[in-house]
Amino acid sequence: MLPNKQLYQQINGSTRWKYGVPMRRNSAITPVLCACLLFLLVVLGSRSGVAAAPDPTEQLRPFLAKVTAALSDPGLKRMTKQQQCDRMIGVIRERFDFQEMSKRVLGQQWRNLADKEQQEFELLFTQLLQYAYVGKVDDYSGQQVQFIQQRIRGDRAEVQTQLVDRNKSIPISYIMLLRNDQWMVYDVVAEGVSLVRNYMEQFSEILRKDGYPGLVKQLKGKIAELEKNFNKS
Amino acid sequence: MATAHMNMAGRLARLCLALAMAAAILSGRGAVAADFGGDVISERLFGTVDFLSDESYEQPTSNTKVADPIEPFNRAMFVVNDKFYIWVLDPVATGYSKVLPADIRMCIGNFFYNLGEPVRSVNCLLQGRFRDAGRTLGRFVINSIVGVFGLADPAGNEFSIAPRYASFGQTLWAWGIGDGFYLVVPLIGPSTLRDFPGAVVDGVAAATYTPPWSDNLYTAIAVQGLKTVNRVSLHLGEYQRVQAMSVDPYVAFRNGYYQMRNKQYERSDAAK
A68 touches chain B (CB under 8 A): no
Query: Could you tell me which residue, A147 or A49, shows the higher pLDDT?
Result: A147
A138 to chain B, closest Cα gap in Å: 13
A100 touches chain B (CB under 8 A): no
Nearest to B248 among A168, A175, A205 (CB): A205
Other C-beta atoms within 10 Å of B211: how many? 8
CA angle, A120 then A199 then A118, to 5°: 20
Q: What is the pLDDT of residues A51-110, one digit of tens each?
A: 566 899 999 999 999 888 888 888 887 887 778 888 888 888 889 999 999 999 998 889
- B interface residues, A as partner, C-beta within 8 Å: 29-30, 49, 51-53, 56-60, 64-65, 102, 106, 234, 241, 244-248, 251-252, 254-256, 259-260, 262-264
Q: Is B188 in contact with B180 (CB distance < 8 Å)?
A: no
- The Cα–Cα gap between A228 and B139 comes to 49
Query: Could you tell me which residue, A5 or B195, shows the higher pLDDT?
Result: B195
Record the pTM: 0.76
Asked whether the CA dihedral B182, B242, B263, A177 is positive or negative, the reply is: positive
pLDDT for A166: 74
B9 to chain A, closest Cα gap in Å: 33
**B241-246 long-range contacts, CB within 8 A, separation 24+:** B241/A136, B242/B28, B242/B29, B243/B82, B244/A132, B244/A226, B244/A229, B245/A128, B245/A132, B245/A133, B245/A226, B246/A198, B246/A202
pLDDT for B57: 67
pLDDT for A37: 63
* Closest residue in B to A107 (Cα–Cα): B58
Residue B80 contacts by C-beta under 8 Å, 6 or more apart in sequence? B186, B187
- The Cα–Cα gap between A125 and B265 comes to 31
- Strand (E) or helix (H) holding B121: helix B117-126
In chain B, what residues touch A175 (CB-CB under 8 Å)? 51-52
Mutation target among A202, A219, A229, A233 for the B interface, most CBs of B within 10 A: A202
In chain A, what residues touch B53 (CB-CB under 8 Å)? 153
Question: Which parts of chain B sit beneath pLDDT 50?
Answer: 1-47
Tell if the CB–CB gap between B52 and A175 is shorter than 8 Å. Answer: yes
Tell if the CB–CB gap between B30 and A191 is shorter than 8 Å. Answer: yes
pLDDT for B34: 34
In chain B, what residues touch A192 (CB-CB under 8 Å)? 259-260, 262-264
B250 to chain A, closest Cα gap in Å: 9
Mutation target among A191, A209, A220 for the B interface, most CBs of B within 10 A: A191
pLDDT for B29: 33
B205 to chain A, closest Cα gap in Å: 28
pLDDT for A33: 64
Q: Is A164 in contact with A143 (CB distance < 8 Å)?
A: yes
Mutation target among B40, B52, B234, B269 for the A interface, most CBs of A within 10 A: B52
pLDDT for B61: 54
pLDDT for A143: 84
Closest to B199 measured CA to CA, from B264, B86, B95, B116? B116
Residue range A208-229: average pLDDT?
Answer: 90
pLDDT band, very low/low/confident/very high, at A23 (cuts 50, 70, 90)? very low
Q: Is B197 in contact with B230 (CB distance < 8 Å)?
A: no
Instruction: Point out which residues pair with A144 in neighbouring strands.
Output: A164
Mean of pLDDT over chain A? 80
In chain B, what residues touch A208 (CB-CB under 8 Å)? none
In chain A, what residues touch B244 (CB-CB under 8 Å)? 132, 226, 229
